Structure formats: C-alpha cells, structure tokens
Homo-oligomer: A and B are copies of this chain.
Amino acid sequence: MAKQASKQASKQVHVPPLLDLFRQYGYDGVSLAKIAQATGLGKASLYHHFPGGKDEMVETVLATLDQWLQQTALAALEGEGDAQTRLGRMGDRISTAYSQGQKPCMLAALMLGSAKDAFQPQVQNLLRRWMGAIAAVLTADGMDSTLAQERSEEALVAIQGALILARAMADTTIFERTLQRLPQQLCRSSSSA
C-alpha cells in the first residue's frame, strides 16, 4: 500500500532537478550522467523510479508542470478583482516560477530537437488550457470572445518571447517589464485598422 505511494512520492522528489536540467539544456542536451549527478542517484536507481527512461522523466515533469499551471498560475486568475488585477496576480506567480526570467521555459526547450514530435501533444494541451483560462478572464470582463482568444495568444507570445530575450541578453528586467506591461496590454480597448 504505502509502497506505491512512496514510489510516486519519490518520483516527485526528483522532479525539481529534472525540471532544471530539461529547461536549461533541452532534451538532447541532457544525458543520463548529468541526471544522475543532479539527482544524486545512480543510473540503475533512475531506471527503478523511471522504467521508461528519459522519456518517462520528461513526462513526469510535464505532469508536474500541468499541476503547477492549474493550482498556481490559473488559480491566480480566480478570486476578487477585475481582469487586470487577476492577470497581475498571475504575472507574479509566473515571475516566481521562472526566477524573474533567469530560467527558460521547459515547454519551449522541448519543442527543439528530437523530442519535439514526442511531446508536442502534451505541450499543446498545456498551452491551450493556459490560453483558454486567460481568454475566459477577458470575456468575463466583457471582451468579445474572438478578440479575447487573440489577446490570450498575445499573452503567451509575450511571456515566451520575454523569456527568450531576457536569457539571450542576460537582462532579467526585460522579463519583468514585459510581465508588468501585460495586464494593460491584454485589457486595452481595440483600435480598429
């Protein structure tokens, strides 16, 4: 009884170092030797916890990321306040999760290299739910549904782009500025062409 539970728990224990590796090095850049060193486990122990090898490790991290999205990022969208304040709360959670822009997004990292096809469905699902939740906040604020969807795309574009640029320029203020700008940007009134 407690065995399976401990096995599941022990998997969760090793998720943070795995997340750190995959988001910074991508799928192809992470070797089992690096994983063993980062987790402090031998390779055999890794295959005890993750019989599916590297792929199962990524899947586990993706599942944890899915939980984080639901319980942390999207949870910030529910509560009192108008759309801008809700989106601002989400921005705070995001800034924390990405260490003020110092750490890359694992979803983006996974879409490069040989892992792309394998994990694209999970990544798509995660991003889609994220965008859906943002669009829901905007429509609840009275925005047109189609426009809200487009704005939610804008939101993730800004977040992902800010992560890329902040890392490349080694300037976290780019990320912070983008997040701070985001609520106003999303809630602005549309100016027709």
Q: Interface of A with B (CB < 8 Å)?
A: 24-29, 104, 107-109, 111-114, 120, 123-124, 127-128, 150, 153-154, 156-162, 164-165, 167-170, 174, 177-178, 181, 184, 188, 191, 193
Q: With A and B bound together, what is the CA distance between A107 and B159 in angstroms? A: 17
Give the chain B neighbours of A164 by CB distance below 8 A: 108, 111, 157, 160-161, 164
CB-defined A-B contacts under 8 Å, sample of 25: A25-B28, A25-B113, A26-B26, A26-B113, A29-B112, A29-B113, A29-B114, A107-B168, A108-B168, A111-B167, A120-B168, A120-B170, A124-B169, A124-B170, A127-B165, A127-B168, A153-B177, A154-B181, A157-B164, A157-B174, A157-B178, A159-B161, A160-B160, A160-B164, A161-B164
Q: Which of B109, B165, B167 contacts A156 (CB 8 A)?
A: B165
Q: Verify A26–B178 contact, CB threshold 8 A.
A: no
Q: Verify A112–B104 contact, CB threshold 8 A.
A: yes
Give the chain B neighbours of A160 by CB distance below 8 A: 160-161, 164-165
Q: With A and B bound together, what is the CA distance between A108 and B127 in angstroms? A: 19
Give the chain B neighbours of A174 by CB distance below 8 A: 153, 157
Return A55 CB to nearest CB of chain B, in Å. 15
Q: With A and B bound together, what is the CA distance between A92 and B193 in angstroms? A: 18
Q: Which of B113, B156, B184, B193 contacts A193 (CB 8 A)?
A: B184
Most buried by B among A159, A162, A191: A162
